[in-house]
Amino acid sequence: MLGGKFGLQLGGSVFGRALKGGVGRIIARRKFVRSVRPSDVFLVSYPKSGITWLGFLVANILKTDASEQLTLRSFVKYIPDINGLYFGTGSQADLRGIPDPRLFFVHSPYDPSFPKVVYVLRDPRDVMVSFWHYQKLSGRHFALSMKEFIRKGDHWPCPWDEHVSGWLLEHEHPVLLVVNYEEIHRNTEGILKRVLDFSGIYYSDSDIERAVEESSFDRMRIVEEKFGWQGNAPSRGRFVRRGKVGVWKEEMDQESLCVLEEKYHTVMRKVGYEPAT
């Protein structure tokens, strides 16, 4: 048991501050979990797996004024990004005024407290290409090569295979819809309807057509260029970049590919992505 003089010294040390921060995150998470409603729907994915695109699509259904121009900053009023809230790195936002069913998006590892989950799965090779570009966009001092970045073991919020295994292989969540990023590209309207039906959200065919048109990558790039994006990062690149399926074949060198597939090949095969090496 820690106490007395040693406890005070610990609290003032780097480790102590980290411990305090960890406790703060646990408290923030517990507080959020207590506010969860049975009708809540969580859009979950590993970072850079297409969750922003899916959230943008759904937000264009939920908006009350069809003529409203959603941006990469404003769409979160319909689909709140709760990463800061959930991981204890942001303020305790008041989400009580959002009508049911409430939809949130978050990069949480497996959490059984989420009543309904839409999990977005993407080829890890495309994920890591996009994640690397994102780090260059948002990190002022980021200077790792793609191979160095892939080799790292401290990707947030956890390694890709751990995140995917937790949600899709190790546990059986009772109310889970799995959506492949690649399928969103092939059948955007169909996947959007599946997500809305799963969430209990009413829509018309004209709503779907409008949402898909307003959420195209070309349209989202224009919106980002005009209004910026929610992270407000330095203009060293685009948040909405290419959104292409199989971009790793053009942008990932052979060494980086070998490192990635050596790390993730077991889970890749289990979820339908066959390694190339």
**66 confidence band (pLDDT: 50, 70, 90):** confident
How far the first Cα of the chain sits from its last, in Å, is 51
Q: At residue 236, does pLDDT exceed 60?
A: no
Going by pLDDT thresholds of 50, 70 and 90, the confidence category of residue 237 is very low
In the structure, what pLDDT confidence band is assigned to residue 244 with cuts at 50, 70 and 90? Answer: confident
154-196 pLDDT, tens digit each? 899 999 999 999 999 999 999 999 999 999 999 999 999 999 9
Percent of the residues in the chain that have a pLDDT greater than 70, as a whole number = 82
b/e for 199-219, b at 16 or more Cβ within 10 A?
Answer: bebeeeeebbeebbebbeeeb
Nearest alpha-carbon partner for 28 in 85, 105, 108: 85
For the chain, domains (ranges, CATH) are 23-270 (3.40.50.300)
> Per-residue pLDDT averaged across 49-61, rounded?
94
75: closest CA among 103, 95, 109, 117?
103
The answer to which of 106-115, 169-178, 185-194, 242-251 has the lowest mean pLDDT is 242-251
- Which is higher by pLDDT, 260 or 24? 260
Pairing of strands 176-180, 116-121: parallel
Average pLDDT, the chain: 84
pLDDT, residue 260, reads: 98
The whole-number average pLDDT for the span 57-78 is 89
pTM given for the model:
0.85
Q: What is the mean pLDDT of residues 17-32?
A: 67
CB-hemisphere CA count at 13 Å for 254?
1
Give 123's pLDDT tier (boundaries 50, 70, 90): very high
DSSP 131-158: HHHHHHHH-TT----HHHHHH-S--SSS
More confident residue, 5 or 160: 160
Mean pLDDT of 81-108: 87
Confidence of residue 1 (pLDDT cuts 50, 70, 90): very low
Bridge partners of 118, per DSSP, are 43, 177
Q: What is the mean pLDDT of residues 228-252?
A: 64
